[in-house]
Amino acid sequence: MKLELVLPEKTSTKGSVLIHQMKSLDFQGRQIKLIERSSESTVRNVTELAKAIIQ
C-alpha cells in the first residue's frame, strides 16, 4: 500500500504528504502559515489514500 504522495513539481512546496502520519494539529498554537493551496487532484489523491488506510 502506498503511504506517501509526492507533491507535484509545479508547486512551491517540495516534498511528500505522509498519509500514515495524519493527525490533528493546533494551527493557532503552532502559528502555522499558509504557503500555498493544494490542487484539487492532490487533495483527491490524498483523500483516496487515507480512506484506503482507514478501511
pTM of the model: 0.73
Per-residue pLDDT at 48: 93
Paired strand residues for 6: 16
Per residue of the chain (55 residues), give pLDDT as tens: 788 999 999 999 999 999 888 777 788 888 888 899 999 999 999 999 999 888 8
Query: How many Å from the N-terminal Cα to the C-terminal Cα in the chain?
Result: 12
Greatest extent of the chain over all pairs of C-alpha atoms, in Å: 33
Q: What is the 3-state secondary structure (H, E, C) of the chain?
A: CCCEEECCCCCCCCCEEEHHHCCCCCCCCCCCCCCCCCCHHHHHHHHHHHHHHHC
Per-residue pLDDT at 43: 94
